[in-house]
Structure 1
Amino acid sequence: MSSLNERDLNNTRKAQMDLVFFNRVPKVGSQTFMELLRRLSERNNFQFHRDAVQKVETIRLAEDQQQEMAEVISELPEPSVFIKHVCFTNFTKFNLPTPIYLNVVRDPVERVISWFYYVRAPWYFVERKAAFPDLPLPHPGWLKKDFETCVLSGDQECTYTQGVTVEGIGDHRRQSLFFCGHDYECTPFNTVGALERAKFAVEQQYAVVGVLEDLNTTLSVLEKYVPRFFEGVRNIYATSAEYLTKINKNNFKPPVSEHVKDIVRRNFTNEIEFYQFCRQRLHKQYLAAHLPQRIMTGSLN
Structure 2
Amino acid sequence: MPRWSFRRQLILTLSCILIGGVMYLNSITSNRRARSNDGLRKNSLLDLQRIRKDIDNKDRNYVVYNRVPKCGSMSMTTLCYRLGGANGFKVASPYEDGEKPNKNEEEEANFVEFLHEQSPGYMYIRHQYFIDFTRFGQKQPLYVNMIRDPVSRFESFYYFSRFGNERGGGGASSRMSEIRRQESIDECIQRRRQECIKPYWQVVPYFCGQDPGCMSRSKWAVDKAKQNIKEHYVFVGILEDLDNSLKVLEAILPSYFNDASNIYLNPENERMKHETHTRNKRETSEAARDFLKSETSLKLEYDLYEFVKSELENLKTLVL
Query: Aligned match of 2:72 in 29, 50, 58?
Result: 29
Q: Secondary structure in 2 aligned to 1:40?
A: helix
Query: Aligned match of 2:289 in 256, 261, 279?
Result: 261
Q: Secondary structure in 2 aligned to 1:178?
A: helix
In structure 2, how many angstroms separate the alpha carbons of the residues matched to 1:86 and 1:256?
A: 29
2:152 aligns to what?
110
- CA RMSD across the alignment: 2.2
**How far 1:124 sits from its partner (Å)?**
8.2
Q: Would you tell me which structure has more helix in proportion to its own residues?
A: 2
Deviations 1:217-272 (A, max 9, x none): 10011001111100010111234464354241113111111110000101222210
Give the TM-score of the pair, scaled to structure 2: 0.79
**How far 1:16 sits from its partner (Å)?**
2.0
In structure 1, how many angstroms separate the alpha carbons of the residues matched to 2:58 and 2:221?
A: 24
In structure 2, how many angstroms separate the alpha carbons of the residues matched to 1:174 and 1:238?
A: 29
In structure 2, how many angstroms separate the alpha carbons of the residues matched to 1:69 and 1:93?
A: 13
The one-letter amino acid paired with 1:94 is F
Work out whether 1:177 is the aligned partner of 2:192.
Answer: no
1:276 aligns to what?
306
- Summarize the alignment of residues 94-173 of structure 1 with structure 2, pairs less than 5 Å apart: 94-122=136-164, 127=169, 138-160=176-198, 172-173=200-201
Asked if the contact 1:180–1:198 (Cα under 8 Å) also holds between the matched residues in 2, the reply is yes
Q: Secondary structure in 1 aligned to 2:50?
A: coil
1:225 aligns to what?
252
The one-letter amino acid paired with 2:277 is K
**How far 1:172 sits from its partner (Å)?**
4.0
Identity of aligned residues (%): 26
**How far 1:144 sits from its partner (Å)?**
2.3
In structure 2, how many angstroms separate the alpha carbons of the residues matched to 1:69 and 1:179?
A: 17
Q: Could you tell which deviates more after superposition, 269-278 or 37-46?
A: 269-278
Deviations 1:143-174 (A, max 9, x none): 223211111221111112xxxxxxxxxx7433
- Where has structure 1 moved over 6 Å in runs of 4 or more? none
Unpaired segments ≥5 residues, structure 2? 1-39
Give the TM-score of the pair, scaled to structure 1: 0.84
Q: Could you tell which deviates more after superposition, 115-124 or 195-204?
A: 115-124
Q: Could you tell which deviates more after superposition, 79-88 or 142-151?
A: 142-151
- Residues 1:122 and 1:174: Cα distance change in structure 2 (over 3 Å): closer
- Summarize the alignment of residues 282-301 of structure 1 with structure 2, pairs less than 5 Å apart: 282-290=312-320
Deviations 1:53-108 (A, max 9, x none): x3223112111111112221221111011001011101111123321000001111
1:250 aligns to what?
278
Q: Secondary structure in 2 aligned to 1:119?
A: helix
Q: Secondary structure in 2 aligned to 1:208?
A: strand
- Residues 1:82 and 1:265: Cα distance change in structure 2 (over 3 Å): same
Q: Secondary structure in 2 aligned to 1:104?
A: strand
1:51 aligns to what?
94
2:13 aligns to what?
none
Work out whether 1:216 is the aligned partner of 2:243.
Answer: yes
Query: 1 or 2 for the larger relative contact order (CA 8 Å, sep ≥6)?
Result: 1
- Residues 1:99 and 1:265: Cα distance change in structure 2 (over 3 Å): same
Unpaired segments ≥5 residues, structure 1? 130-134, 161-170, 291-301
- Residues 1:139 and 1:57: Cα distance change in structure 2 (over 3 Å): farther
In structure 1, how many angstroms separate the alpha carbons of the residues matched to 2:211 and 2:290?
A: 30
**How far 1:142 sits from its partner (Å)?**
3.5
Work out whether 1:16 is the aligned partner of 2:55.
Answer: no
- Residues 1:122 and 1:236: Cα distance change in structure 2 (over 3 Å): closer
Q: Secondary structure in 1 aligned to 2:51?
A: coil
Q: Secondary structure in 1 aligned to 2:237?
A: strand
